[in-house]
Structure 1
Amino acid sequence: MGGTAWKLSALGLALLLALLAPLAGGCGAEASTDGTQTLEGAEQLMEGDFSELSRGSASKQKIGIALEVEDGEAMPLRVRAGQTFYINQIDIRTSLSATTDEGVSGLNRTGDFACLGWNGVKLVDESFDLLAGEEGFKRRRFYRDAAWMDVPSAFTVEPVDDQGRLTGLPILLFAGSDDRHESDDFFVRRFGAIQWTYDCQTSTNCTGAQSYLEEGLLELRNARTAAQGKTITLNAKTKALRLRWTLRPFAPYTIPVEQVEKPKYDYGFSIEATPVTPPRKDGTYAPGTNVSFRLTLKDGAGKRLHPQGSLPTYNEVIFGSNEPGIQYYRAFFDPTATYYRRKHRERMLMSQIIGPAQRIQPIRSVVELDTFLAPPDVQTIATIQRDGVYSQFRTFPAANKLFGGAFESDHAGWAAPVSDTWSYQLPPDALPGTYLVTTKGRRTYLGEDIPYTQTIEIQVGTPQRTTPVLTTGPCNSCHSQGGELSKVLHANDNRAACAGCHAPLGFELEGPVFVRVHFIHSRSDRFDVSPAQCSKCHLTKESVQRTSKAACLSCHKSYPASHVQKFGPIENMYVGGGRESFQQCTGSCHTTHPQSGL
C-alpha cells in the first residue's frame, strides 16, 4: 500500500503542476484557463495506476453524499458501514471579518482561498435585505470573474485509514469551468464571493459602516450521470476521506468518517400528504369545504421518520438530536440568496394548494410579513378575484411559530409542538376543476442530503380532471443527465405545482418562479444560449408580453434613462424596485422582444 500511496502523490503532483503552474506563482498571478484536456486524461491514468486496488463489493445501493468544509475545517461524516457512495455535493466556504470596505480583497490574503488567483474579480450584483437586523440594514455584494472561479479544476476523493493510507481506489471529479462542458461531473457549479455589510444606515445607504464579512464560496451539486458511476465503497479500515482540490494542491482536507453498523433508518426520503376529510360520493369536494390533510415523512424503505400525530419541534431539528434527519427552514443561521448563496441549504418543509389547474398562473400579490406572523397556521396568498387563481400554503412549523420565533427574545415559537395535520379552506366560490396539493422538504441522513416533492390532486366541484396550460418549456433540453427537475431544486418536475409556494413575500420579493428562472439563467454562463432568445424557454409570443419591472429586471440589469425617470431607478437586483414591480407597466409597449425568436 505504501507503493500505491507514492503513486498517488506522484501522479497528483504531476497533474496539478501541469494544470496549475500559472496559479502557483503567488498572489495576483495571471491564471490560465487551459488544462481541460489534462484533466480529462487524468482519470485514465489514475485507473491504470491503481488497478490493484479494489473498489470493494457494491452490494448496497449507491448513495449520493454531501461533503462540507467550513473555514478550513472539514465537517465529520457519518455513513452506513460498508456503504457504496458517489459524491453528490461539495460545499467549501471561507470567511473573514473586516472593519473597512475593501470588497473581498481580504480573501486574497487570508483563509483557504488566499492566493488562488483573484485577478479579474469584479462586483456584479448587490442587494439589500428588506428587514433590518440588530446592527442595522444589511447589504450583500456579489463578486465573480476571479481567475480561480473560471479556471478548470478537479477534486480527488481518497478513502484512507487512520494513518492516511489508501483503503480503496480514489475517484477524480471534474468541477469544470464557468462554461458548461460534457466532461463536468456536476450539474450545478457556483464559485463566487460575497461581501456582507451589516450596519447600513438605511436600506439604500451604507455610509459609515464598519461591520463587514467577506466570504468565498464553492458549491458543486447534483452529480451528473457519469459522476454517479464514480463510486467508493468503504471497508472496515476506512476512517476518513481525503479531499484534494487542484487549486490547493498541497493542502488537502481530511474528512473524518464514522461508520454506523446498524443505523435505525434507511437512506432515501419520501413525503405523503393524505386527505383526512373524505370527498363526496362522486369523489369531489364541494366549494367551501375545509379539507384536512395528514403529513407522513418516510425513509427509502417506507419507515416513518416521526410518530403519527406530531413532527419534531423546530428546536429539536435545529439544535437538538434529530436522528431521522428531518429538516426545517434554517436560513436564520445559514442565509441564502437566489443563485449566489446556498439555496439548496434553506431546507424549508412546506405545503401548498393551488387551483383550479386550468387557471394556474404566477401569483403577483405580495404576501406581507404580518400575514406570516398572524395566528392562522395557513396563509391565503391568492384569490380568484384578485389573482385569477386560488392558493393557500403553510410551513412546518407553522409560519407564526417558525418566523415569529425569530422575533421573540425567548424564541418560544421554536419550542412549540408541531402537528402533522392541517386544513385548507376551499373558498365558497371555488371554480370547478383539479386542485394540486404539493408538499416539499429535504432530509439529511448519514451523509445523504436530498430533496423530495409530492403532488396529489383533488377534484373540486366536478369529477372532470382539468390540466394546466404551461407557456414555457421544455426544460429537459438542458436539465438532463443528472440535472433533471426531478433531482435539482426541490426534486419537483411538475412545474404547475410551483406558483403557490413561490409568491412574492414582503421580506423576499424574488419569490415568483419567473423571477428566479430569469435571474438564474441570465447570470449563469452554463446556459448555452443568449437570455435574449426567449423562445428557448417561452412557447408563445403572448407569454413574453406581460411587462413589469419584475419580469424585465429579473433578467436585465439596466433600462433606459427614460424608464428611470418614469418608473424609478433600479433598487432591487431581482425585481427592479419594490412591491410595485409586479404591476403591469403597459399593454402597448414591449409587445415584442429583440432576438426573442418569437
Structure 2
Amino acid sequence: MAASAFTRTRSCTMGGLGAPRALLASLAGLMLACGGQDAPDAASLDTQAPDTVSLETSSLETRSLDTRSAEKTLLDADPQSLLGGWPWPGNKTPAVALALEVKNGVGQPLRVREGSTFFINQIDIRTFVTSTKDEGLRNLIAQSDFGGLGWWGVRQVDQESIGAPGPYTRRRFFRNAAWMDLPSHFIVEPVDSRGRLTGVPILLNAGTEHQRRAGMDDFFIRRFRGIQTASGCATPDDCSASTQFEEEAILELRNAYEHAQRQTLTLRSDTRTLRLRWSLRPAAPYEIPVEQVRDARYTYGFRIGVEALTPPRPDGTYAPGTEISFQLTLRDGAGNRLHDKGYLPPYNEVAPDGTESGLQYYRAFFDATTTYYRRKHRERMLMTQIIGPAQNIQPIRSIVALEAFLDPEVDEQVVATPERDGVFSQFATLPFANVLFGGAFIDPNLWNQPNTDTWQFKLPDNAAPGTYLVTVKGRRVYLGEDLPGSTTIEIQVGTPQRTQPKHTTGPCTSCHSKGGELGVVLHANDNRAACAGCHAPLAFELEGPIFVRTHFIHSRSNRFDAPLQQCSSCHLTKESIQRTSKAACLSCHKSYPDSHVAQFGPIESMYVGGGAESFQQCTGACHTRHPGSGL
C-alpha cells in the first residue's frame, strides 16, 4: 500500500471532523489496497529466501461484487448516520475496551452490551494444524489460512521443554517470516445481516516487528510468531517417538495506545457482524458475529477489593506471628458483586470460559501459555500475596516445589522467609492450589467443590517491622471486554511507621506510557514492589521471577528501543547488576563460552539456562561489571 495513502487516511481518522465523505472514500479504497504473496511450496521453503517480499495490489476491476456493493453503500450513505461512534465533541460516554478473536479463520462470536461505545483493545488470531510427524511448520504453511502470507525467512529462534520427569512437551518458537516483519494494518467494519456497513470503519496500524512508534503504532504489544508443539517426548530434546504435533501461527495485538482508543464504534441495532480486514490478506476478511445484549445484569469495568478481617492492635499494627484473615470482593465498574459474599463458585462452573458475571480462574490447563511467546494474557490466574517489609523487598530465588501446590493441608504457600530470602512472602491461588492443581492431577472431584473468598496469611515470628503489601490480581472477561485488574493494600507490622521499597531499576515510564503503562498492561498494577511475591520461581515455571521475565521479554522484543548491553537503560546502580547467576545471565543471553559449558553445563532452558541451580550466586570473582552497561 502506498505510504501517502496510509498517511492521508490516518490524518483524517485522527484529525476528527475533517470531511466525512472524503474519509469514507479513503477507507473504502484501503479495504482493497493490499494483497499478500502466494505461499511458497512447503518442500522448497528452505531454499527460497528473497531479500524482500513485495506486496501485490488488488485492482478495482477484480474485486468481488459483494465488496463493490459494500463500498457503494458506504459512499452513498449519509455520513452523519454512520458516525455514531465517532468521538465528536460532547460525546462523554467512556469507551469499552473490546477484544476480538479469530480461530482457524473463523471469528469467535461476540456478545456485547447494547448501546455501548467501544474501541479495539485486543486482537487475537490463531491458526493451527495437527500432524503425526515432526515437519516443523510445513503443514501449517501448506494447509492453513495463513499459508499465503509469505513465510520466507522463517526460522526457529527458541526452544523449551516442560514436563519433568516425563513425558515431555517441547515447544519450538519461530520468527522472521516475511509476514511477521512487514508493516500491516487492520480495518474493523460494523455490518448488517446483508454485509452493508452500519458505521464508520476503524483503521488500526499494527506497526512492524522492528520499530515501536508510540505516535503511529496503535498497540503497545505486537507479537507475531509460529510455534510447533510436540507432546509425549521421551526427553526434553528427543521427540522422535512422538506422534502428536501441533503447528500454529499466532498474532497478538494488545493494549491500544491513547490515540487508538479515540477511534470508537457505537453499534447500531442492526449491526450483526464485525468484519475484520487484514492488509496482508484483504480478499478474505474475518467475520465476527455480534449479538447485542439489551438487559445485561452487569456493567463493564473491573474492581478488586481486599480487606483484612483480623483487626490490628490499638496502634494499627499487627504483631509478628499473627495469622491475618483477608477477604476479596470482585465487582463490575458500577460496584455490582460478581460473586456472593463468602463464596467463589466451583472451578468447573468457571473454567475455561468464565461465568455470566465475567469471573475467571486459571485456565492454562485448557489453553497453554508461554511467557512472551504464547497467550500469557489468557492465563487469567486469580491470586493473592503478601510481601514485606517493604524496605527489604527483593527478587525471590527460592524455588516453590510442586508438592507445595498439591498438599491438601496447605492452602497458602510460603515462598520466601527472612532467613533464606531476606524478605517474607506468602501467596495463594484462588481457588486454592490444592484444588486447582489437585483437581487436574489427583482428584477431578475437587473441581466441583465450592470455594471461598477468604484466606489467611501468617506472619513469621521474626517478621521485621515495616509496611507489608497485600495484593490480589485477576482478570474479568465480560461481553467482549477482557480486563486485568489488581489491588494492593498496606498493613503495618511491628511499627506504625510506614516504610518504602528501594527500587534499583526504573523508570519504566520511559517506554510504558500512553496506553502501555504498568497500571494498564500485565496485571494492571504499577506498584512494582508488589510483584515479587507472586513471581517466585516455581518448580514447573522457573521463569517466574520478575528479573527473569523482564530480561527475557525485552531481549526478545525487537521493539525495545535501547541497546541490550546497556544495563543503565533500566538499572540505576552498578551494584544492581553484580548479582550473577545462570538465571540472571541466560534470561537475556542465548549462549555463553565453551569454557562455561564445560564448567556449568549446557544451556537447557531458554529462560534461566538450567534447572534449580540457575538461581545460585556465581562466584564474586567473576562478572563484576557488564561491557557496555553504562554503569
Cα 1:445–1:285 change in 2 (3 A) is same
Partner of 1:556: 589
Q: Does 1:130 align with 2:163?
A: yes
Aligned AA (1:510)? E
Asked if the contact 1:30–1:117 (Cα under 8 Å) also holds between the matched residues in 2, the reply is no
Asked if the contact 1:298–1:305 (Cα under 8 Å) also holds between the matched residues in 2, the reply is yes
What is the rounded CA distance, in whole Å, between the counterparts of 1:186 and 1:102 in structure 2? 33
Asked if the contact 1:5–1:165 (Cα under 8 Å) also holds between the matched residues in 2, the reply is no
Question: So what's the TM-score if we normalise by structure 2?
Answer: 0.89
Partner of 2:513: 480
Partner of 2:16: none
Partner of 1:299: 332
Q: Which moved more, 1:203-212 or 1:264-273?
A: 203-212
- The partner residue of 2:565 within 523, 532, 543 is 532
- The partner residue of 2:180 within 143, 149, 154 is 149
Partner of 1:471: 504
Q: Does 1:177 align with 2:211?
A: no
Offset, 1:319: 5.4
Offset, 1:424: 0.4
Asked if the contact 2:39–2:149 (Cα under 8 Å) also holds between the matched residues in 1, the reply is no
Offset, 1:132: 6.0
Q: Does 1:342 align with 2:375?
A: yes
Cα 1:525–1:319 change in 2 (3 A) is closer
What is the rounded CA distance, in whole Å, between the counterparts of 1:201 and 1:29 in structure 2? 34
Q: Does 1:15 align with 2:29?
A: no
What is the rounded CA distance, in whole Å, between the counterparts of 2:599 and 2:169 in structure 1? 28
Asked if the contact 1:405–1:414 (Cα under 8 Å) also holds between the matched residues in 2, the reply is yes
Q: Which moved more, 1:79-88 or 1:314-323?
A: 314-323
Cα 1:420–1:350 change in 2 (3 A) is same
What is the rounded CA distance, in whole Å, between the counterparts of 1:521 and 1:222 in structure 2? 17
Q: Does 1:356 align with 2:361?
A: no
What is the rounded CA distance, in whole Å, between the counterparts of 1:525 and 1:518 in structure 2? 13
Q: Does 1:399 align with 2:433?
A: yes
SS of 1:371's equivalent in the other structure is helix
Partner of 1:420: 453
Offset, 1:210: 2.5
Offset, 1:416: 1.6
- The partner residue of 1:97 within 124, 130, 133 is 130
Aligned AA (1:157)? V
User: For 1:244-323, what aligned pairs fall within 5 Å after superposition?
Assistant: 244-318=277-351, 322-323=355-356
Partner of 2:414: 380
SS of 2:312's equivalent in the other structure is coil
What is the rounded CA distance, in whole Å, between the counterparts of 1:233 and 1:9 in structure 2? 18
Q: Does 1:80 align with 2:113?
A: yes
Aligned AA (1:455)? T
Partner of 2:195: 164
SS of 1:95's equivalent in the other structure is strand
SS of 1:402's equivalent in the other structure is helix
After superposition, the CA RMSD in angstroms is 2.2
Cα 1:315–1:590 change in 2 (3 A) is same
What is the rounded CA distance, in whole Å, between the counterparts of 2:154 and 2:39 in structure 1? 18
Asked if the contact 1:31–1:147 (Cα under 8 Å) also holds between the matched residues in 2, the reply is no
Partner of 2:555: 522
Q: Does 1:440 align with 2:465?
A: no
Asked if the contact 2:352–2:366 (Cα under 8 Å) also holds between the matched residues in 1, the reply is no
Offset, 1:24: 5.2
SS of 1:419's equivalent in the other structure is coil
Asked if the contact 1:268–1:299 (Cα under 8 Å) also holds between the matched residues in 2, the reply is yes
Structure 2 residue runs of 5 or longer lacking an equivalent are 1-20, 42-47, 56-73, 86-90
Question: So what's the TM-score if we normalise by structure 1?
Answer: 0.93
What is the rounded CA distance, in whole Å, between the counterparts of 1:478 and 1:34 in structure 2? 32
Offset, 1:204: 3.3
Asked if the contact 1:5–1:166 (Cα under 8 Å) also holds between the matched residues in 2, the reply is no
What is the rounded CA distance, in whole Å, between the counterparts of 2:469 and 2:27 in structure 1? 55
Asked if the contact 2:475–2:485 (Cα under 8 Å) also holds between the matched residues in 1, the reply is yes
- The partner residue of 2:97 within 64, 89, 96 is 64
Aligned AA (1:380)? V
What is the rounded CA distance, in whole Å, between the counterparts of 1:121 and 1:131 in structure 2? 30
Offset, 1:33: 7.1
User: For 1:182-193, what aligned pairs fall within 5 Å after superposition?
Assistant: 182-193=215-226
Cα 1:212–1:24 change in 2 (3 A) is closer
Aligned AA (2:332)? D
What is the rounded CA distance, in whole Å, between the counterparts of 2:161 and 2:444 in structure 1? 25
Cα 1:148–1:550 change in 2 (3 A) is same
Offset, 1:89: 0.3
What is the rounded CA distance, in whole Å, between the counterparts of 2:26 and 2:524 in structure 1? 37
Partner of 1:324: 357
Q: Which consecutive aligned stretches of 4+ in structure 1 deviate over 6 angstroms post-superposition?
A: 3-6, 47-50
Cα 1:13–1:256 change in 2 (3 A) is closer
Offset, 1:59: 6.0
Offset, 1:474: 0.2
Post-superposition CA distance 1:31-61 (Å, at most 9, x none): 85789xxxxxxxxxxx999845532165632
Asked if the contact 2:384–2:470 (Cα under 8 Å) also holds between the matched residues in 1, the reply is yes
Partner of 2:612: 579
Aligned pair count?
Answer: 579
Partner of 1:216: 249
What is the rounded CA distance, in whole Å, between the counterparts of 1:65 and 1:112 in structure 2? 24
Aligned AA (2:472)? T
Post-superposition CA distance 1:199-233 (Å, at most 9, x none): 21123322333221101000000001111011111
- The partner residue of 1:55 within 76, 83, 88 is 83
What is the rounded CA distance, in whole Å, between the counterparts of 1:415 and 1:390 in structure 2? 33
SS of 1:556's equivalent in the other structure is coil
SS of 2:100's equivalent in the other structure is strand
Partner of 1:44: none
What is the rounded CA distance, in whole Å, between the counterparts of 1:14 and 1:414 in structure 2? 49
Asked if the contact 1:156–1:172 (Cα under 8 Å) also holds between the matched residues in 2, the reply is yes
Asked if the contact 2:158–2:606 (Cα under 8 Å) also holds between the matched residues in 1, the reply is yes
- The partner residue of 1:234 within 226, 246, 267 is 267
Aligned AA (2:416)? A
Aligned AA (1:389)? V
Offset, 1:106: 1.6
What is the rounded CA distance, in whole Å, between the counterparts of 1:365 and 1:229 in structure 2? 45
SS of 2:304's equivalent in the other structure is strand
Name the % identity: 62
SS of 2:497's equivalent in the other structure is coil
Offset, 1:107: 1.7
Cα 1:348–1:524 change in 2 (3 A) is same
Offset, 1:12: 3.0
Q: Which moved more, 1:207-216 or 1:268-277?
A: 207-216
- The partner residue of 1:119 within 152, 159, 173 is 152
Cα 1:473–1:321 change in 2 (3 A) is closer
What is the rounded CA distance, in whole Å, between the counterparts of 1:15 and 1:251 in structure 2? 13
Asked if the contact 1:31–1:148 (Cα under 8 Å) also holds between the matched residues in 2, the reply is no
Aligned AA (1:339)? Y
Cα 1:6–1:462 change in 2 (3 A) is closer
Asked if the contact 1:33–1:150 (Cα under 8 Å) also holds between the matched residues in 2, the reply is no
Offset, 1:347: 0.3
